[in-house]
Amino acid sequence: MNSKLTVLGCRGSMPVSDKNFLKYGGATSSFLLQAGGENILFDAGTGILKSTTLLEDVAESHLLISHMHMDHIMGLAFWRPLFTKGKQVHIYGEKRNGLMIKEQIADFLKAPYWPVGIELFQGVADYHDITAGESFSIGDVTVKTMRSNHPNEGTLYRVEWDGKAVVYALDFEHSEEASEKLAAFAKDADVLIYDSTYSPETYLQKKGWGHSTWVEGLKLKEAAGVKTLLLAHHEIDNNDEMLDSLQAKLTALDKDVYLAKEGMGIAL
């Protein structure tokens, strides 16, 4: 069966909407991986709303949440499969602040912040509490996890099937130690989705904020022997023109490096 990774949303921190952001898109983090006969989503930023038609005929899907920062979960409030009887969405996430993943989502979607809560989630099959560093299975697919270097306990995912692997490493800040661990975790992956929120210059003012740069992404690609590097979590100031010129620079350095674009698909 053919496998495919689709970019649903790749904007970092906050959604943006403007004529200067039409090409790369303004929706926040969400990616759909259709592999090993499973439908696996990384994060539920506003981009996840675009999966509704792709998953129209799919009953069971699996949503891997990296962490609870708003840009990664905002889409939960309006993602139709969650509210649809007959759908079977499995939600995975770590325990944080003593709260199970179900309790964290319930806390996010409640009055007075939002009018409907998880009691209306007729399409959820189960909530799965996971632990960073451990692995679990979804059918024939194996999911490995790693603690991210990011405020409030992020989780990075490595999904493996049929000898292939995709690594999701958004909301990750490089450091000698963290990058070494991630290089081992991403070893020989087909695709590494990497946090390139900042340029090396803007990063200098944002050290400790939990994000990385495209230069660090290139270093990791090399160190891990990754085939394709997909850079995402674009900063909200980076409009299409800026990202186009960055893409040209990246292609000149390495033809297998892409800035994620909403709607883009990678066959695996």
Binding footprint of Zn ion on the chain (CB under 5 A)? 69, 71, 171
Whichever of 151 and 200 has its CB closer to Zn ion, that residue is: 151
> How far is residue 123's CA from residue 133's CA, in Å, rounded to a whole number?
28
Provide the minimum distance between the beta carbon of 235 and Zn ion in the complex, in angstroms, as a whole number. 11
Q: Which amino acid is at 69?
A: H
CA distance linking residue 87 with residue 90, whole number of Å? 10
Nearer to Zn ion, 44 or 268 (CB): 44
Q: How near is the Cβ of 252 to Zn ion at its closest, in Å? A: 28
Residue whose entry in the numeric block shows the structure tokens 């992404």: 217
Q: Which of these, 3, 9, 10, 66, lies nearest to 33 by C-alpha position?
A: 3
- Closest residue to Zn ion using C-beta atoms: 69
Would you say 69 or 158 has its CB closer to Zn ion?
A: 69
Nearest residue (CB) to Zn ion, 71 versus 190: 71
In angstroms, give the least distance from the CB of 162 to Zn ion. Answer: 30
Return the number of the residue (42 or 121) whose C-beta is nearest Zn ion.
Answer: 42
> Smallest distance, Å, CB 72 to Zn ion?
6
Which of 190, 177, 168 lies closest to 149 in space, CA to CA? 177
DSSP 151-175: TTT-EEEEEEETTEEEEEE-S----
Rounded Cα–Cα distance for residues 43 and 200 (Å): 26
Q: Which is nearer to Zn ion, 50 or 69 (CB)?
A: 69
- Quote the radius of gyration of the chain (alpha carbons, Å): 17
CB 90 within 8 A of CB 60: yes
Q: How far apart are CA 123 and CA 86, in angstroms?
A: 6
**From the CB of 192, what's the least distance to Zn ion, in Å?**
17
What's the closest the beta carbon of residue 68 comes to Zn ion, in angstroms? 9
